[in-house]
Structure formats: structure tokens, C-alpha cells
């Protein structure tokens, strides 16, 4: 099963590399960018389904993991909720675009800012966890 998942992961990486390469070689053609966005959404759906499936499977095979899973869900809700609160507090902002106009759709701006803030938190958490793990391995 693990070998099959590694092959699937390699296939997803290869498809992503081809898609990004196509967008770069085409000079950012609208079709290439649109296909890359759709592929990104497909990957996002696959990631969400995988995380939910793994959490449910873990809870069924190990009832003690329910507490950890619920803690993770609460943590995600708190982080996304805090990002949403921050984004909603910036009401009335307009962001300039490359065409000389502005992005002024409030829904678009809120979703973008929430995504950016959550990405910052996840990146920082990833760095901290990696540093902690490496230091712990170094000391053991």
C-alpha cells in the first residue's frame, strides 16, 4: 500500500511539474494559468479528502486518538477563525491590480487575505516543528 501511495505521490508531483512548466513556457497564457488553477483546486480537494479519511480511519482504529483529532480540528477552526476576523477588520481596502484598476470585491479580498494569513501560520508552524524535531534528534 505504501509503495502504491508513493507512486501516486510521484505521479501527482510529475503532473504538477508539467503544468507549471507549461505555464512558464507559454509565457503565462490564460489557458495554461486557468488549467493550473483548476489543477490546484483538484489537489486541494484531494488533500482535504485525504486528511479527513486519515483522521476518520485513525479514530476508528484507535479510539484514544479521538482527543488528538478533536484538538487538531479545534486548532484549525481557531486559526481560520482568527484569520477571518483579521480579514474582516480590514473592510474597505482596495488592492491595485496590474491592469491599472483595483480589486474591490469584498468577498474576493477577504478570501485572499484569509488564505494568505493561514498560509503564514502553517509555514511558521512547519518551520517550528521541523526545528524542534531536528534539535530533538540531535540531542538524542
Same domain assignment for residues 39 and 72? no
Same domain assignment for residues 131 and 74? yes
Same domain assignment for residues 68 and 116? yes
Same domain assignment for residues 38 and 14? yes
Mean confidence (pLDDT) of the chain? 87
Domain span at residue 87 reads 63-140
Same domain assignment for residues 79 and 130? yes
Same domain assignment for residues 29 and 98? no
Share of the chain above pLDDT 70, in %: 99
Same domain assignment for residues 77 and 139? yes
Same domain assignment for residues 82 and 111? yes
- Can you give the pTM of this predicted structure? 0.58
Degrees to nearest 5, angle at CA 1 with 66 and 131? 60
Is the pLDDT confidence value at 135 over 80? yes
Identify the band that residue 66 occupies on the pLDDT scale cut at 50, 70 and 90: confident
Degrees to nearest 5, angle at CA 30 with 9 and 113? 70
Same domain assignment for residues 32 and 91? no
Same domain assignment for residues 2 and 57? yes
Of 41, 61, 81, the residue that ends a domain is: 61
User: H-type helices in the chain, by residue range?
Assistant: 2-25, 30-61, 66-88, 106-139
Same domain assignment for residues 34 and 76? no
Find the mean pLDDT for residues 6-22.
Answer: 91
Is the torsion defined by CA of 3, 8, 11, 16 positive or negative? negative
Count: domains in the chain: 2
Amino acid at each position: 500500500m505504501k509503495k502504491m501511495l508513493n507512486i501516486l505521490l510521484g505521479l501527482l508531483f510529475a503532473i504538477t511539474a508539467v503544468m507549471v512548466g507549461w505555464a512558464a513556457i507559454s509565457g503565462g497564457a490564460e489557458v495554461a494559468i486557468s488549467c493550473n488553477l483548476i489543477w490546484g483546486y483538484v489537489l486541494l480537494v484531494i488533500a482535504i479528502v485525504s486528511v479527513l479519511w486519515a483522521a476518520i480511519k485513525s479514530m476508528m482504529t484507535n479510539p484514544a486518538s479521538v482527543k488528538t483529532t478533536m484538538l487538531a480540528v479545534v486548532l484549525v477552526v481557531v486559526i481560520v477563525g482568527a484569520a477571518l476576523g483579521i480579514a474582516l477588520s480590514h473592510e474597505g481596502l482596495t488592492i491595485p491590480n496590474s491592469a491599472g484598476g483595483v480589486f474591490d470585491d469584498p468577498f474576493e479580498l477577504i478570501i485572499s487575505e484569509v488564505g494568505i494569513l493561514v498560509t503564514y501560520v502553517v509555514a511558521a508552524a512547519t518551520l517550528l516543528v521541523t526545528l524542534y524535531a531536528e534539535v530533538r534528534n540531535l540531542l538524542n
